[in-house]
Amino acid sequence: MGMINSLVLEEMFLKHYQEWCLLSFSYVGDLEDSKDVVQNIFIKLLQKEFDAPIVDLKKYINTCIRNESLKKIKKSQRTFSLKNYSTEVSSHENELIRSEISDTLFRQIDALPDHSKKVFELCVLEDLKYENAAEIMGITVNTVKYHLKKSFKLLRLNLKDVYFWLF
């Protein structure tokens, strides 16, 4: 068991903070929320112990940010449907845009191949560990990783227009 070197983490945070905020923003559509996502990831990383060293820390953090952003979207979708709609027009328009982006994202997740979709839902949306997802599905951990990689690749490809639309 070990922890990530805090100096390495601090250096990465300073170097890539804006890039990661933009990545999160491309999912959540709100600058403050995207800053919260990135900062929360780093707080968790500073506190977390790992069973094995992380080979590519930047890639690992990118994945964490994507996953956390998707969870935030799902949470905000739930609360959005419960809100009353008598808010300012611009705020309402922003919510509609965000909701449309979320709908597009979830339609794309729904369109994933069956195994990839199930793995994505278990690991990303339900936050299960690879081992648990593998056990539930009766497949190996490497197959879980394969399906996750495939899911993210397909989502990146199918959602590239959404990114451009946001900016």
Taking alpha carbons only, the member of 115, 129, 154 closest to residue 50 is 129
Residue 157: C-alpha distances to residues 101, 141, 161 (Å): 15, 24, 9
Domain ranges of the chain: 1-83, 87-167
- pTM for the model stands at 0.45
Instruction: Choose between 106 and 63: higher pLDDT.
Output: 63
Instruction: Choose between 46 and 103: higher pLDDT.
Output: 46
pLDDT digits (tens, 9 = 90+) for 5-22: 778 888 888 888 888 888
DSSP at 139: -
pLDDT digits (tens, 9 = 90+) for 86-142: 444 456 666 666 667 667 777 888 888 999 989 988 887 777 889 988 998 999 999
Residue 62: predicted pLDDT: 87
Mean pLDDT for the chain overall? 78
Roughly how many angstroms between the first and final C-alpha of the chain, as a whole number? 41
Which class does domain 87-167 fall in? mainly alpha
Residue 164: predicted pLDDT: 47
Instruction: Choose between 90 and 74: higher pLDDT.
Output: 74
Residue 78: predicted pLDDT: 59
Instruction: Choose between 147 and 109: higher pLDDT.
Output: 147
Average pLDDT over residues 156-166: 64
What residues contact residue 69 under an 8 Å CB cut-off, 6+ apart? 23, 24, 27, 28, 34, 37
Q: Which tokens hold the place of 76?
A: 């905000």
Average pLDDT over residues 41-56: 79
Average pLDDT over residues 55-80: 81
Say whether pLDDT at 30 is over 90. Answer: no
